[in-house]
Structure 1
Amino acid sequence: MSEIYVALDIEATGMDPERDDILEIAAMKFRPDRVLDRWETLVRPRGPIPLAIASLTGLSARDLRQAPPIDAVLPRLRSFVGQHPIVGQSPQFDLQMLEAAGLRLQNPIYDTFQLATILLPDLPAYSLASIASRLGVSVTQQHRAMADVETTVAVFLALRDMLLEYDAQTLQHLAEYLQLAEVPLAQLFRDVARELSLQGQGTLGAMLTERLHTALPAVQHAAEVVFLLDRDVPTRLEPRPNPPALDLARIRAFYAADGPFAHVLGDRYELRPQQVQMAEAVAHTLNQGGHLLVEAGTGTGKSLAYLLPAVLYAVSHGETVVISTNTIALQDQLYKKDIPLLRRALEAASQRWPELAETANFRAAILKGRGNYLCLRRWFLRQREPARTSAEALLFAKVTAWLPQTATGDRAELHLSPEEQAAWSQLAEEEGSCVPRRCLFHRRRQCFLFRARAEAEAAHIVIVNHALLLSDVLTENHVLPPYHTLIIDESHNLEEEATDQFGAQLSAEVFRDFFNRTLMLDHLGRLTGALSDLALALSEVPTEQARQLSRELDERMQEMIPHLARPRELTDQCFQVLADFVDRYDTQPAGGYERQVRLTDAVRHDPAWTLVEEAAEALLVEMRTYQLLLSWINTRLRDIPETDLAKSEDVVTELDVLARRGDALRTAMDEIIHAPKPDRIYWISQQSNTGQLTLHMAPLDVAPLLQQHLFNRCDRVVLTSATLTVGGTFQYIQERLGLTDATTLRVPSPFDYQRSTLLCVPEDMPEPGAPGYQRAVNDLLIALFRATRGRGLVLFTSHSALQATYRAIKRPLERQGIVVLGQRIDGTPRQLIERLKARPGTVVLGTNSVWEGVDVPGEALSVLVIAKLPFAVPTDPVFAARSERMADPFGDYAVPQAVLRFKQGFGRLIRSATDYGVCVILDRRVLHRRYGQLFLASLPECTIEIAPGMQLVDAAARWLAEGIAPERVAEWEGDHGTRP
């Protein structure tokens, strides 16, 4: 008889089991082939229903007034559920709420969220609706218990059907990992495997696995058979002789009212002279060479302005053009939206210009850093050892299920928890880890990184991110194909990313990982790691030379056994001493996230620093011991014939990687602690929530490094962003990037900001930090959003300020029907922005990542509030060190940096030509400080109103009312009452 399951869902007044109440419970009993029974009830809460919950569920106090109390319904639920497995979408919350109410269910839990992250690894989101959409399950209603239960049942059964597509051997393998991870889904995988075996579908899997082990002992199950097959790779680009220059007249024709873009977009096309101006400038730079800086205001269409000339140039020259972005969102936009649109436009253009037919077939690729790709050599090597933690076991389960599906090996296709992300480093490609002639997967052209690079070498356009662009030039272009033409979008982030990439970060975990990968004892007291694997592999080689080396290595390892705990003890001691040192300075978390101590000469003269040096030296001595052992074994391996090492290639490569990794760690640690350089910045950071401590070093000035490693190696470089100028000039960004001789172009936004945007500055607001400032902020926000009925985004520079405002304004606004959501309180930035889009009358409070990259066109975001000018924290180590080198650090560094950040924040408001909104700046320094006018002068020409705060509230309400299209007035009044 098939298993019986019970799907369960509740709705509640909040997320706190101790304080919040259950409002509704629904359950459904079912088998894979039919529904057996269903049960649901409303529940009378003890207190009022919060507005945010009422808006989500549609439940009101009237609906619940006659409902039974929770004590009356729990026995009925207990009887309905019985001992059957409970199916739910992240049901832990539901079970916690039930337990707090008095019912503890200890049934097996089958979580559809967890199951989907294993079987559907490439979903962008794992809400119940997202999973249902991917599986073709219709969702008629959300956030009501029975509707969610019905969806959950359909989703679970569709996911269960997916398990039937695997062979029994693979399912058993997955069950073993899930058992190690203590995930109840292990039993579901075993049940389906047993079902397949009874149906005779497990025999093929067993036969394939037997063949695989004969050909490649590391392969664990039939799903990996694909990795025994050779793959073809595309043909790389070849430069073309005597290519023609780009025709600027033809490029202008592409953007004309009757041109190819207009043909493809139809009524949606808008002719923007600014876009044409930028495209011509980019084309001229590609023709003539040199460096070009372009600030393209919001709405310019800068992506298509540089993509068209880039593609025409790349195809006509037979060369790769690299395009670098800072965010994944822009990478996705370029690859999934803009490039397909450009291809269609080129196809349309070939009707007018037949010679462009070939250009329409241009090739584009996305390339990421090494650490994003699964290394098959390391994966199969790691399979020889059991998973050490539940996070590792769950990661291994996800990879096992994902391998037969993936064509890229990109970890972005997997949904990984932070703990699984950390474990991913054991499986990922790493610098120096590949010796192609030794790697079976490379020789068969199966290596994911090799294939990604081969596709890039065959592509005319290669899209990367700044991190890969910069790390690649430092490692002598081991990932990116050769290129001479570079376009850097979101280039206002380039200095910050270069600071990270040209520096280093060391944590206790990286040292533990080095020791664990080299040699360690597992929980059963067995030797594991690369040295142990090599000793075993050599003992099986039928030559005396190899076996002799195996015996010598084994003797050395046996001598080390009593001391194997020492490396980890010294690591822990060193980082504990560093943590104690941070405590001496009693630093406050920067923005609520981490504590930082900059390692200046004065700090290094603190007597306590001697303890740090001693602890670090003890760790470095132990590192040296391991390095000598690795050096000895690598030297001895050179005397062994390659034919004897054929089956040990992965282990030999791993040892070579570890030797170089250990040397890099020792060098970096020694520099940070004992031998600092004058052109570097050093500091310690400690996460406020986890206590994790990291040592950092970064260059004092990235401009010379960018010149040497990047700009001087390219013939043509275009850098663009919506925010590059300060007060109308490029001087600041040119000096920071070392591009003082670059050509510059400022292309204004095509949007009419005077018509669309009211910029308000309350003249009676106290300055930040002055008595009464926080109270004034709270009062003005409450009045403002009452008048505008929400539709707002408030940007803060610290989470502590956000929390203070959240506590003050949430209840008063929600009494008016306006939902208030806070970053890190009510969800991630992405979740909060989606709720802002979905529900009019919402206010989102955000910090950090919300200052840029947020795109909410339309009325959902009509009010933007900038609580404080975004100056850097003066004690930030990088900011402080760079400031010390300047005659006027505030005017030359702090202010320009804050202006660019300010412009990014302002850019969240107007995202289309039809947008209409109000920006309120709650920092009167823009009016009364000498530098304040620079902030205002850097914005587009808006309608500006300076008045007492409450007058500005009325002005904002009038402005939004006047901006509503006539056909929307009745709807607006219906939503919000009378028109202001």
Structure 2
Amino acid sequence: MTTKFVVIDLETTGNSPKKGDKIIQFAAVVIENGKIVEQFSSLVNPQQPIPLFIEELTGLNDEMVEDAPIFSEIAPNVLKMLDGAYFVAHNVLFDLTFLQEELIESGYEGFYGPVIDTVELARILFPTADSYKLNDLAFMQGLEHSRPHQADSDAYVTAELLQLFISRLHTLPQATLRQLLKLSGGLKSDISLLLDEYVLAMERTVEELPAHLELYRGIALRKQDEYGVTTGDSDTVYPASHDSKEQLFKMVFPTFEKRLGQFDMMDAVYHSFLEDKHAVIEAGTGVGKSLAYLLPGAIFSRENNEPIIISTFTIQLQEQLLANDIPLLQKMLPFQLRTVLLKGRNHYISLSKFEQTLKDDEDNYDTSLTKMQILVWLTETKTGDIDELNLSSGGLLYWNKVKNDEAVILQNKSWMQYDFYLRARKAAEKADIIITNHSLLLADLVSEHSILPKNDYVIIDEGHHFEKAAGKYFGYSLDYLSVRLLLSRCGLMEQKQLLYQLQQLLEEIKWNQNNEEVLHTFELNQLISELQFEMDELFRMISSFVKKKAKRSYTNRMNCSLQNYEDTKEGKAIFNSGERFSFLLYDLISYFEKCLSGLESESEHFTIEQRRVLTDISSLQLDLKGTREKIKNVLLNPSSDYVTWVEMDARAVQNATTVYAQPVAISDHLSEQFFHKKKSVIVTSATLTVNNSFDYIINELGLNTLPLNVERISSPFNYKEQVQLLVANDLPEVNAVPLDEYVAAISEHIISIAEATSGRMLILFTSHEMLRKTHDLMKESGLLEDYVLIAQGITAGSRTRLTRNFQRFEKAILLGTSSFWEGVDIPGEDLSCLIIVRLPFSAPDDPLTEAKCARIKEIGGNPFSSHSLPEAVIRFKQGFGRLIRSSKDRGIVVVFDKRIISTRYGKAFLESIPEVPIRRNNINEMVELIEGWL
């Protein structure tokens, strides 16, 4: 193609040309015939001072632009380049708006040709990317981008990305390109013109689909592999008797580093399965836990024709098992291992529903963009799992229309052979190993329609989270945003959502004539209006209740117990509102049920569009029923064994208000409904013991009355030589001074330690408020200008992305809380220092903690030693484990909380981690020791 693209990037004095902000650097890269043919870059004198924050961001200052041309001097060259070209930029509206202002101010007409936004193009063509920021896309594609926020570097890397995007377009099937073209009219940039050129060009050629793709009902899909194909000798298994350790090890690990701890764990797992006994196994960092349970699991499964369920708490571990450990295991086995990842039904796309929505004409921007993302994704995905996609909030709303659910009435049956969910379930029936998560494993226990095949043997990895996951599963939560989105799917008549579409259907088939079940349009509108009003009232009352009752907090997050809430005047008003809302929901659900049952018998004569409406109504009705059930269990009739509470954000009261109900004690539920029903469950983690004892986790999981194997396998790492643990002795007691004073003290220490370690530091906090204040103070100090500060909740991005960015910079400091205490893997010199700011005790006024402690007190126990301390120790062990990830790692752990050595209970923390040298120092001694040791 001979299309000309001019890729432009600007650096400016601010974000608003209307308020007088000006260009300070202009760069353009010209692409013709798919190749870069010209580059142009110039500093620009803005004739005004460059703000300090722009100077810090771009590295450009007043001196550098003092002798540069003003924009009007380079304008003719800019217009000449743009003649007959597409204007391309990353977030094109920003660059285009600035350029237009400058051109018009210089006496020119401006640019009014076609524009391409590479952010928009990236979202469509790389729908599974973690991020669409320029730096992250360049990193993902392996492009060099050494000077971000300088126009020439940004423009060049954007041009390279555009070339990759164009190459990606060439690989898409004609059917996909035609569908993208049809949807592209509502985009913000002129991608439709580009697609139109490609579609016209390809129609002159005969398409031969790549071998990995197929076309079905006009949609291009990746061909799915057949499950259960055996390529090895399926009758061969390794000897696994107790006296054949060495033989088994040599056969499986001929070139592998021999880890005796790993083999001890294999033995423990295999024999627990053989004996039909449960087991609790703590395997320290470096044992090779995943392979240590996968290998005996695979062998036992094939020998006994029994599926092994492996349940994890995090998606990251599932990805690690599938991407790294399973392929490695497969190389060791003489038979083809059949493995499948199985998630809840709503995780998978319904291709039948998706096909129907492609026929809708009145799409908003987010819906059109999401459809385009999914069309490209379907040429790549093997799973059809939403967790692969990076969708906007509007895209997630659209997902509700195309997710797989039980509302399969009237769906197009021709899609069943391609249904991702059914394929995953079918694969699970033949699988040796089924990977899932704690939530699905628990949900499957009492589901009327079991998702997992019958199973008696389970491995629970990240087992320290199983009790918490069970609490959420056996509990309920009701949040404002979800309920509002649910009612918006229904919509008032004038909004032309599902309720309107149902009424249109009833009129089309004249079902409403002489039918007493049909409500008048006015009555339906009134019902929806009352529901929306009552929902707003209910959550408004709840948030007012929290503001009045909740204890003062340094953060905007507030929580408040709802135990016996109806005993107060405000509580009675909440209860009455909840009742009214529940009754109104019942009326709407009943109306949908009557319509659905009456129409089902006539459905065989319906059009495809009419079938889609009924399927969507059926799906909506299921969700409304679920919401009504939550209201009953959370507000109207909570069990006496449950604790109920509210969490909300004071800045966005309604949108961030959630009501919870959870059992106070999970152990009885787990014992009766899970462990008693399985022959052998292996619970494993790197952090299960407290003071070398399993008592806490055994009691929490309800395993104390069952036959049980326990095994503690120490880490093979030499912690004495690899780690120094330093406790600051010149900081105030954390609870003895105001927060700001404590933050000021630790910030000084962090700055000094950062200079000694050259960054490469992870700082773990127990509160977002302390993290934010510390980050702001460190930044304001001006002493860490050479360092990149990356802070959870402040720096945009997921935990994975923040961690990856941390590893990219030589001098970086990562501040994290909550999820950063575990699951973060930063091996080698990327991480040399770990700072633990506070011992990680749960807040004493946390409603669930309060209720658990009260329950322990009732039965004569000590809440601190039985619950608060062991919970904090396990969390501390998780945090400690972030530092040493391989036998070659070395590092420093610094604890700012003096309670670890000044209190009797502090010993529990120190005796629960590997034995390491412990030193108590002031900051000067600490810095000297760090510099010498690292």
Question: Would you call these one fold, judging by a TM-score over 0.5?
Answer: yes
Query: Does the 8 A contact of 1:516 with 1:529 survive in 2?
Result: no
1:271 is displaced (CA, Å) by 1.9
User: For residues 854 and 520 of structure 1, what CA distance do their matches in structure 2 show?
Assistant: 46
Distance 1:386 1:441, change over 3 A: same
User: For residues 607 and 190 of structure 1, what CA distance do their matches in structure 2 show?
Assistant: 63
Aligned with 1:926 (options 900, 904, 910): 900
Matched letter for residue 821 of structure 1: I
Aligned with 1:835 (options 791, 799, 805): 805
Query: Does the 8 A contact of 1:855 with 1:911 survive in 2?
Result: yes
Aligned with 2:683 (options 715, 719, 722): 719
Distance 1:803 1:526, change over 3 A: closer
1:529 is displaced (CA, Å) by 5.6
SS at match of 1:912: coil
The CA RMSD over aligned residues, in Å, is 4.0
What residue in structure 2 maps to residue 365 of structure 1? 340
User: For residues 99 and 497 of structure 1, what CA distance do their matches in structure 2 show?
Assistant: 54
Q: Does 1:595 align with 2:558?
A: yes
| Matching of residues 543-562 of structure 1 within 5 Å | 548=511, 552=515, 556-562=519-525
Matched letter for residue 886 of structure 2: S
1:624 is displaced (CA, Å) by 1.8
| Matching of residues 327-346 of structure 1 within 5 Å | 327-346=314-333
| Matching of residues 4-153 of structure 1 within 5 Å | 4-10=4-10, 24-33=25-34, 35=36, 37-42=38-43, 65-68=63-66, 72-73=70-71, 76=74, 80=78, 85-91=86-92, 109-128=115-134, 131=137, 139=144, 141=146, 143=148, 144-153=150-159
Greater mean alpha carbon deviation, residues 385-394 or residues 473-482 = 385-394
Gaps of 5+ in 2: none
What residue in structure 2 maps to residue 575 of structure 1? 539
Deviations 1:359-412 (A, max 9, x none): 2x1111112222211122433454565556543333233223433443321112
Distance 1:863 1:24, change over 3 A: farther
Q: Does 1:326 align with 2:305?
A: no
Matched letter for residue 263 of structure 2: V
SS at match of 2:543: helix
What residue in structure 1 maps to residue 671 of structure 2? 707
User: For residues 19 and 490 of structure 1, what CA distance do their matches in structure 2 show?
Assistant: 55
Query: Does the 8 A contact of 1:295 with 1:721 survive in 2?
Result: yes
User: For residues 77 and 466 of structure 1, what CA distance do their matches in structure 2 show?
Assistant: 61
User: For residues 790 and 51 of structure 1, what CA distance do their matches in structure 2 show?
Assistant: 24
What residue in structure 2 maps to residue 661 of structure 1? 623
User: For residues 286 and 203 of structure 1, what CA distance do their matches in structure 2 show?
Assistant: 57
Gaps of 5+ in 1: 209-220, 264-268, 347-356, 540-546, 961-980
Query: Does the 8 A contact of 1:227 with 1:441 survive in 2?
Result: no
Greater mean alpha carbon deviation, residues 746-755 or residues 503-512 = 503-512
Distance 1:33 1:275, change over 3 A: closer
Deviations 1:791-829 (A, max 9, x none): 211111112111222222235574573333322323434
1:756 is displaced (CA, Å) by 0.9
Aligned with 1:398 (options 367, 373, 379): 373
Query: Does the 8 A contact of 1:112 with 1:152 survive in 2?
Result: yes
1:897 is displaced (CA, Å) by 0.9
Matched letter for residue 898 of structure 1: A
Deviations 1:417-436 (A, max 9, x none): 23422432232123x3346x
Query: Does the 8 A contact of 2:8 with 2:155 survive in 1?
Result: yes
1:508 is displaced (CA, Å) by 3.5
Aligned with 1:184 (options 181, 188, 191): 188
Matched letter for residue 575 of structure 2: E
Query: Does the 8 A contact of 2:478 with 2:659 survive in 1?
Result: yes
What residue in structure 2 maps to residue 781 of structure 1? 750
Matched letter for residue 200 of structure 2: S
What residue in structure 1 maps to residue 265 of structure 2? 278
Matched letter for residue 72 of structure 1: I
1:129 is displaced (CA, Å) by 6.4
SS at match of 1:717: strand
1:770 is displaced (CA, Å) by 2.0
1:938 is displaced (CA, Å) by 0.9
Q: Does 1:870 align with 2:840?
A: yes
User: For residues 408 and 662 of structure 1, what CA distance do their matches in structure 2 show?
Assistant: 28
User: For residues 923 and 231 of structure 1, what CA distance do their matches in structure 2 show?
Assistant: 54
What residue in structure 1 maps to residue 864 of structure 2? 890
Distance 1:389 1:914, change over 3 A: same
User: For residues 587 and 78 of structure 1, what CA distance do their matches in structure 2 show?
Assistant: 64
Q: Does 1:677 align with 2:652?
A: no
What residue in structure 1 maps to residue 253 of structure 2? 261
Distance 1:60 1:570, change over 3 A: closer
Deviations 1:178-222 (A, max 9, x none): 544xx323x3224422552376459999xx9xxxxxxxxxxxx98
SS at match of 2:384: coil
Deviations 1:689-732 (A, max 9, x none): 54312222222222222223322222111011111111111111
Distance 1:86 1:661, change over 3 A: same
SS at match of 1:855: coil
SS at match of 2:914: coil
Deviations 1:90-132 (A, max 9, x none): 4566678889999999866522232122122233454546656
Q: Does 1:958 align with 2:932?
A: yes
Aligned with 2:692 (options 717, 728, 751): 728
User: For residues 149 and 912 of structure 1, what CA distance do their matches in structure 2 show?
Assistant: 40
1:783 is displaced (CA, Å) by 1.9
User: For residues 794 and 76 of structure 2, what CA distance do their matches in structure 1 show?
Assistant: 33
What residue in structure 2 maps to residue 503 of structure 1? 475
Q: Does 1:491 align with 2:470?
A: no
Distance 1:955 1:450, change over 3 A: same
What residue in structure 2 maps to residue 193 of structure 1? 196
SS at match of 1:608: helix
1:625 is displaced (CA, Å) by 1.4
Matched letter for residue 5 of structure 1: F
Q: Give me the TM-score of the superposition, normalised by structure 2.
A: 0.86
Greater mean alpha carbon deviation, residues 722-731 or residues 90-99 = 90-99
| Matching of residues 451-530 of structure 1 within 5 Å | 451-476=423-448, 478-517=450-489, 520-523=492-495, 528=499
1:39 is displaced (CA, Å) by 1.8
Query: Does the 8 A contact of 2:185 with 2:192 survive in 1?
Result: no
Q: Does 1:225 align with 2:218?
A: yes
Query: Does the 8 A contact of 1:819 with 1:842 survive in 2?
Result: yes
User: For residues 14 and 753 of structure 2, what CA distance do their matches in structure 1 show?
Assistant: 27
User: For residues 484 and 416 of structure 1, what CA distance do their matches in structure 2 show?
Assistant: 37
1:739 is displaced (CA, Å) by 1.3
Matched letter for residue 370 of structure 1: R
Distance 1:932 1:650, change over 3 A: same
Distance 1:336 1:233, change over 3 A: closer
What residue in structure 2 maps to residue 974 of structure 1? none
Query: Does the 8 A contact of 2:537 with 2:577 survive in 1?
Result: yes
Tell me how many residue pairs correspond in the alignment: 901
Distance 1:92 1:715, change over 3 A: farther
Greater mean alpha carbon deviation, residues 139-148 or residues 276-285 = 139-148
What residue in structure 1 maps to residue 295 of structure 2? 308
1:52 is displaced (CA, Å) by 11
Query: Does the 8 A contact of 1:223 with 1:404 survive in 2?
Result: no
- Percent identity (aligned): 28
Distance 1:341 1:73, change over 3 A: same
Query: Does the 8 A contact of 1:472 with 1:478 survive in 2?
Result: yes
Q: Give me the TM-score of the superposition, normalised by structure 1.
A: 0.83
1:520 is displaced (CA, Å) by 4.0
Deviations 1:828-871 (A, max 9, x none): 34343223322333222221221111111112211111011111
SS at match of 1:425: helix
What residue in structure 2 maps to residue 621 of structure 1? 583
Query: Does the 8 A contact of 1:810 with 1:819 survive in 2?
Result: no
SS at match of 1:324: strand
1:883 is displaced (CA, Å) by 1.7
